[in-house]
């Protein structure tokens, strides 16, 4: 039994030394592998440059695709916006025509309604409507130039100002028509201060 115990202790003492010897022998080539890896990195610089160039090319292609899809979305949105504004201009034009016909009927009849102010408001609304229609055409042309521009953010400023002008014209037309309708019916729209 003592012999067995002695053999087991002897084996345990030898095994760690063998393992340590193996680690020592593997670390020596490992350091040379590090040196070889560094040398390989220096020789791989052209390969890395090619990889960087390929990734930059792919990134540019993706950017071009995104830019094309963004331009298409902007073109679609602006087309819908122009269509809506055109429809509004057409509706306002129809309303002006109906109001003019109404003024003619009132003037033909023996009515005591004074239509001079309403007629002048409607004439002013017609001028503003023509201006809004012209501005809308200008905005469509400017929007096309924005989409083709290299710097669309700065080019969009012109479109934005035209759109604000159109909006202001349409609001003024609406206000004039509301007052005209009120005058034709004998109502006072917006003048609640007089008593």
Check whether 97 has a pLDDT greater than 50: yes
Question: Which pLDDT score, from 0 to 100, does residue 61 have?
Answer: 76
| Residue 150 phi, psi dihedral angles, 5° rounding | -80, -30
Q: Which of 67, 74, 128 is nearest to 96 (CA)?
A: 128
Please give the share of the chain, as a percent, with pLDDT higher than 70. Answer: 72
Please give the share of the chain, as a percent, with pLDDT higher than 90. Answer: 29
Q: Which of 183, 181, 190, 177 is nearest to 122 (CA)?
A: 177
159 CB-contact burial (10 Å; exposed 0-12 / middle 13-18 / buried 19+): buried
Q: What is the pLDDT of residues 23-61, one digit of tens each?
A: 444 445 555 666 555 555 555 566 777 888 888 887 777
Q: What is the pLDDT of residues 164-183, one digit of tens each?
A: 999 999 999 999 999 988 88
Question: Which pLDDT score, from 0 to 100, does residue 195 have?
Answer: 41
pTM for the model stands at: 0.61
The beta-carbon contacts of 115-119 under 8 Å, at least 24 apart in sequence, are 115/183, 115/184, 117/180, 117/183, 118/179, 118/180, 118/181, 118/183, 118/184
Please report which residue ranges of the chain form alpha helices under DSSP H.
2-43, 45-108, 116-148, 152-185
Domain boundaries, the chain: 77-185
Check whether 194 has a pLDDT greater than 50: no
The answer to whether the beta carbons of residues 117 and 183 sit under 8 Å apart is: yes
Cα 61 from Cα 132, distance rounded (Å): 40
The answer to whether the beta carbons of residues 129 and 96 sit under 8 Å apart is: yes
Question: Which pLDDT score, from 0 to 100, does residue 185 have?
Answer: 76
Question: Which pLDDT score, from 0 to 100, does residue 10 have?
Answer: 66
Q: What is the pLDDT of residues 101-156, one digit of tens each?
A: 988 888 888 777 788 888 999 999 999 999 999 999 998 888 888 877 777 777 78
């Amino acid at each position: 039994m003592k012999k067995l115990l002695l053999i087991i202790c002897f084996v345990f003492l030898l095994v760690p030394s063998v393992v340590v010897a193996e680690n020592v022998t593997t670390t020596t080539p490992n350091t040379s592998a590090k040196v070889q890896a560094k040398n390989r990195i220096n020789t791989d610089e052209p390969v890395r440059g090619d990889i960087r160039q390929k990734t930059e090319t792919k990134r540019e292609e993706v950017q071009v695709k995104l830019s094309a899809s963004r331009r298409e979305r902007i073109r679609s949105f602006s087309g819908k916006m122009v269509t809506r504004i055109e429809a509004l201009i057409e509706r306002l034009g129809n309303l002006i025509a109906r109001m003019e016909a109404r003024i003619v009927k009132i003037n033909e009849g023996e009515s005591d309604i004074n239509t001079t102010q309403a007629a002048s408001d409607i004439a002013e609304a017609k001028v503003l409507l023509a201006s809004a229609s012209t501005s809308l055409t200008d905005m469509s042309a400017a929007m096309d130039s924005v989409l083709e521009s290299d710097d669309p953010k700065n080019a969009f400023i012109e479109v934005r100002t035209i759109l604000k002008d159109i909006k202001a014209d349409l609001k003024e037309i609406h206000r004039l028509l509301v007052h005209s309708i009120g005058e034709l019916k004998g109502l006072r729209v917006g003048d609640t201060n007089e008593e």
